[in-house]
Amino acid sequence: MVLGLQHFDDRVGDENGGPRLDSDAGEELMLVERGVAIALGSRPPDSPGTLYITTRRVIWLSDADKGNGYAVDFLSVCLHAVSRDPEAYSLPCIYTQIETEDGENEESESSDSESHGDLELSNVTEMRLIPSDPGQLDTLFGIFCQCAELNPEPQEEEEEENSWFFGSEEMADDGSDSEWQLSEHHANPIGYANGDHDLACTVHELRINDQRFEDAEEVESASRNGHQFSG
């Protein structure tokens, strides 16, 4: 999976067909909206085309130029919103921000080359979808929300819940809650569960209940009164 906007020209059937989807991977069409213009960065809108929203990505295919199209994975869409104020943009549209490969998301003019020159897609950080029917904006916004939820970040190897860092002695619950601290510099502390909570429980009990940790019995009664070491 690549971050950012991509060219797309893989149509099904003839040049009037819709986009070829990755059905094997379970990609399905959620919505088709005709008469949608697309504006990348600060460029003027591209001639009307058709918007295809799938379970994984947004695809726009030009009506006029059959070989022209764009696609972006929902994983790359960091923000989307409905824009209606003519002062912000002349046409009501869905405004989206796209996360690009290098992680930079510059809003400056220079990031998407000249407005009428060659377009460097990997630098496009803003995309507007302008339906010919502004009444569709709320529906489009809602579909974007749904699809974003369908595309969470891929699961990492280690679940986040298990990567907590514990202190050592402070694991014991002796009632003094205010002394509980997170220690950031521990090598191998006792009670360091590292996600294995049964182990922590066992060690916890061992330390508290084991007879071996009790004080040794006093042998002589005299030693209780004076706490001085003979010297």
Please state the closest distance from residue 9 (CB atom) to another protein, in A: 27
Please state the closest distance from residue 27 (CB atom) to another protein, in A: 19
34 and 45 Cβ atoms separated by less than 8 Å:
no
Please state the closest distance from residue 82 (CB atom) to another protein, in A: 7
Please state the closest distance from residue 67 (CB atom) to another protein, in A: 29
Residue among 6 and 83 whose Cβ is closer to another protein: 83
C-alpha dihedral sign at 64, 65, 66, 68: negative
Residue among 149 and 157 whose Cβ is closer to another protein: 149
Other Cβ atoms within 10 Å of 118 Cβ, number: 6
Residue among 12 and 79 whose Cβ is closer to another protein: 79
94 and 82 Cβ atoms separated by less than 8 Å:
yes
Tokens of 10: 């893989």
Please state the closest distance from residue 197 (CB atom) to another protein, in A: 4
Q: What is the three-class DSSP state of 155?
A: coil
- CA 153 and chain centroid, separation: 5
Please state the closest distance from residue 46 (CB atom) to another protein, in A: 18
Residue among 64 and 88 whose Cβ is closer to another protein: 88
Residue among 58 and 193 whose Cβ is closer to another protein: 193
Residue among 108 and 211 whose Cβ is closer to another protein: 108
**Phi and psi at residue 10, to the nearest 5°:** -90, 90
Binding site for another protein (CB under 8 A): 75, 77-85, 87-89, 95, 97, 99, 103-105, 107, 125-126, 141, 144-145, 148-149, 152-153, 161, 164, 166, 177, 180, 193, 195, 197, 200
74 and 56 Cβ atoms separated by less than 8 Å:
yes
DSSP string, 54-73: ESSEEEEEESSSTT-EEEEE
Tokens of 197: 């909570």
Please state the closest distance from residue 114 (CB atom) to another protein, in A: 18
126 and 71 Cβ atoms separated by less than 8 Å:
no
CA distance 52 to 58: 6
Residue among 66 and 204 whose Cβ is closer to another protein: 204
